[in-house]
């Protein structure tokens, strides 16, 4: 990985509200109003899911630290400093050839990237992905993201324990959580952009997730990707296309990558993004002596 020589910025006092996508905020408020939400949250806590996840990571993944993979830890620590997160959540590399990353846990959130992801990203692209995952943490998404990720298995288990009642209560909540989860990705992508501090890097990282094939990376055009996004947006103009997009997207935890690309581009051009950049200070010039905790 080649480190960038430009001066990197950090954003002391950065709040989730400074970059959170309005659709994310609105959808999460809707989730919390769904009948059975509080009940299901308590059941998930009681199942000990967080302990199981952490045990699996400690048993079969690599925990990154100052002593373990220090160059990778340096990049991660800098992303935390950029986004004003202190202390950093635990960080693991999972043995998995498929390029992926996720944030999970409740009381002890963890950021996880796969070995396959490290194979396909350069250092700046990795900053975007790590910033994205830390954005979920910063926005207080982690509990709800974990619920969305494991909800089908959780509902099946609770359904057996409650003679099917848990399954019935969870049906509406599952759809609401998935709808929110797709919108939460827009907020996290904004945090990723703040960590990468390079417009093309953010879009390039998303496209490597869409097509993780080394043979075509050098030929991928950011301009062509944005035109493709425009073409996809135009498909919503008639009622049948809108119906198809809703039908095929309703069970997804993430929005289509081409929509994420378009949202990132829109934010790049926004006054909100430019204002945050203008408020930045050179990385390393700020002393982090406080704790910045996410709100749920």
Task: Say yes or no to pLDDT of 214 above 80.
Answer: no
Q: What percent of the chain has pLDDT over 70?
A: 79
- Residue 49: predicted pLDDT: 80
Strand order in the sheet with 61-63: 61-63, 90-94, 110-114, 101-104
Task: Say yes or no to pLDDT of 194 above 90.
Answer: yes
Q: 90 - beta bridge partners?
A: 110
Q: Which of 17-21, 155-159, 206-210, 264-268 has the lowest mean pLDDT?
A: 155-159
**pLDDT (average), residues 208-218:** 73
- Residue 163: predicted pLDDT: 47
Tell which wins on pLDDT, 281 or 173. 281
Tell which wins on pLDDT, 275 or 288. 275
**pLDDT (average), residues 148-164:** 65
- Residue 128: predicted pLDDT: 97
- Residue 177: predicted pLDDT: 86
Q: Which of 36-45, 53-62, 105-114 has the lowest mean pLDDT?
A: 36-45
Which sign does the torsion angle of CA 124, 77, 74, 8 carry? positive
The confidence band for 247, taking pLDDT boundaries of 50, 70 and 90, is very low
Task: Say yes or no to pLDDT of 250 above 50.
Answer: no
Most confident of 18-32, 35-49, 226-240: 18-32
The confidence band for 292, taking pLDDT boundaries of 50, 70 and 90, is very low
The confidence band for 286, taking pLDDT boundaries of 50, 70 and 90, is low
- Residue 237: predicted pLDDT: 58
- Residue 106: predicted pLDDT: 78
Tell which wins on pLDDT, 1 or 232. 232
- Residue 133: predicted pLDDT: 97
Average pLDDT, the chain: 82
pLDDT digits (tens, 9 = 90+) for 103-153: 988 788 999 999 999 998 999 999 999 999 999 999 999 988 888 777 777
Task: Say yes or no to pLDDT of 285 above 80.
Answer: no
Catalytically active residues, by annotation: 133
């Amino acid at each position: 990985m080649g480190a960038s020589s430009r001066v990197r910025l950090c954003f002391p006092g950065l709040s989730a509200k400074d970059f959170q996508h309005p659709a994310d905020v609105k959808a999460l408020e809707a989730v919390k109003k769904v009948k059975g939400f509080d009940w299901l949250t308590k059941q998930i806590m009681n199942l000990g899911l967080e302990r199981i996840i952490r045990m699996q990571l400690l048993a079969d993944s690599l925990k990154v630290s100052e002593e373990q993979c220090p160059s990778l830890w340096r990049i991660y620590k800098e992303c935390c400093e950029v986004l004003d997160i202190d202390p950093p959540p635990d960080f693991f590399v999972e043995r998995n050839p498929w390029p992926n990353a996720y944030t999970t846990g409740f009381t002890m959130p963890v950021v996880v990237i796969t070995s396959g992801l490290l194979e396909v990203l350069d250092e700046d692209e990795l900053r975007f992905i790590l910033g994205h995952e830390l954005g979920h943490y910063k926005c207080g998404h982690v509990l709800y993201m974990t619920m969305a990720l494991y909800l089908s298995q959780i509902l099946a288990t609770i359904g057996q324990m409650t003679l099917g009642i848990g399954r019935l209560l969870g049906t509406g909540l599952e759809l609401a959580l998935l709808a929110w989860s797709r919108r939460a990705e827009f907020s996290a992508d904004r945090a990723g952009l703040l960590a990468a501090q390079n417009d093309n890097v953010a879009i390039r990282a998303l496209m490597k997730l869409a097509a993780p094939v080394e043979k075509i990376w050098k030929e991928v055009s950011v301009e062509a990707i944005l035109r493709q996004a425009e073409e996809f947006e135009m498909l919503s103009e008639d009622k049948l296309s809108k119906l198809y997009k809703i039908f095929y997207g309703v069970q997804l935890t993430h929005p289509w990558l081409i929509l994420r690309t378009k949202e990132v581009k829109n934010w790049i051009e926004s006054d909100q993004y430019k204002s945050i950049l203008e408020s930045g200070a050179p990385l390393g010039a700020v002393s982090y002596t406080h704790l910045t905790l996410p709100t749920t």
